[in-house]
């Protein structure tokens, strides 16, 4: 089985490449080989490789910047997915696409289910919503996998941001009224492979287990890293950012366990694994 991976140099793409290479033949499709916003190029490149499965890790991920350049976010996260879906349908390629908790508005007290109504509240979330809609209306052979609060060693993320800030400041201020599920990129990559093996197309939520706030997440990061500095809880109103964030973006995992027989570990265990590996490799950037 030949697996093609777009965005192989990003935070998630690196882990997907590492995990899939253990069991599959893999071809990397970075931006200089495949620009997913160019439909003709997408068709040409995929026709030349003819993978069995395409895992799309290419994405515009700058949540706040998307408020200033929504067209760019829509081009990559929306039209780019349309282009992949069209080419994959014509070539009979299964498409794995990664989406986000930000397609939901956050106005609920319970975790979001896979078919709950989507109503993004920022430009980034809307661009990912566009991608989902294109995918589900064009190519029926797809895995649409939503995830949230991603961390790992392949790029900027909350864990490394907190650790760097802790080394420079005597106190951290972190919002305590936004809730979600942290996700280790390596665990997500492993579950993408498990899903591909099942051939059970559909929509899935893949996160590490457990719900927390950014504030409690930050405290646990520092605790596990052995850093003892004060962490002050602040409200979203006190910490204003360009893009509005959902209050609750926790994701319900059903039917992940029913499909692959297991759920990812807790976010605390995942964080411990990441920190031990990252500190050993000095790769927290």
Q: Which one from 49, 60, 102, 124 is the annotated catalytic residue?
A: 124
- Residue ranges in the chain whose pLDDT is less than 70: 279-285
pLDDT, residue 282, reads 53
pLDDT of 277: 84
Output the CATH code of domain 2-155+182-208+249-264. Answer: 3.40.50.720
pLDDT in tens, 163-180: 999 989 889 999 999 999
* Residues near 59 by beta carbon (within 8 Å), at least 6 away in sequence: 7, 10, 76, 77, 98, 128
**What's the CA dihedral at 36, 62, 275, 215 to 10 degrees?**
-150
What pLDDT does residue 170 have? 86
Output the pLDDT for position 281. 60
Active-site annotation holds for 124 = yes
Domain residue spans of the chain: 2-155+182-208+249-264
């Amino acid at each position: 089985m030949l697996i093609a991976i777009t965005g192989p140099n990003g935070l998630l793409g690196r882990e997907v490449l590492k995990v899939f290479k253990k069991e599959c033949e893999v071809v990397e499709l970075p931006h200089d080989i495949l620009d997913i916003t160019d439909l003709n190029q997408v068709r040409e490149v995929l026709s030349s490789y003819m993978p069995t499965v395409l895992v799309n890790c290419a994405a515009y991920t700058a949540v706040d910047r998307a408020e200033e350049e929504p067209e760019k976010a829509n081009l990559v996260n929306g039209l780019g997915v349309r282009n992949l879906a069209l080419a994959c349908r014509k070539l009979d390629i299964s498409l794995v696409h990664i989406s986000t908790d930000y397609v939901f508005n956050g106005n609920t007290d319970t975790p979001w289910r896979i078919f709950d109504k989507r109503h993004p509240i920022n430009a980034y979330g809307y661009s990912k919503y566009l991608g989902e809609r294109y995918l589900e209306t064009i190519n029926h052979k797809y895995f649409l996998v939503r995830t949230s609060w991603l961390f790992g060693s392949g790029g900027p993320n909350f864990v490394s941001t907190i650790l760097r800030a802790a080394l420079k400041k005597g106190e951290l201020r972190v919002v305590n009224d936004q809730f979600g599920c942290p996700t280790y990129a390596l665990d997500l990559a492993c579950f993408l492979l498990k899903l591909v093996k099942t051939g059970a197309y559909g929509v899935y939520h893949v996160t590490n287990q457990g719900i927390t706030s950014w504030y409690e997440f930050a405290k646990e990061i520092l605790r596990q890293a052995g850093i003892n500095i004060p962490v002050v809880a602040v409200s979203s109103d006190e910490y204003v950012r360009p893009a509005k964030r959902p209050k609750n973006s926790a994701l319900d995992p059903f039917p992940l366990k029913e499909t692959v027989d297991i759920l990812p570990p807790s976010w605390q265990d995942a964080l411990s694994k990441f920190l031990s590996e990252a500190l050993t490799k000095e790769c927290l950037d």
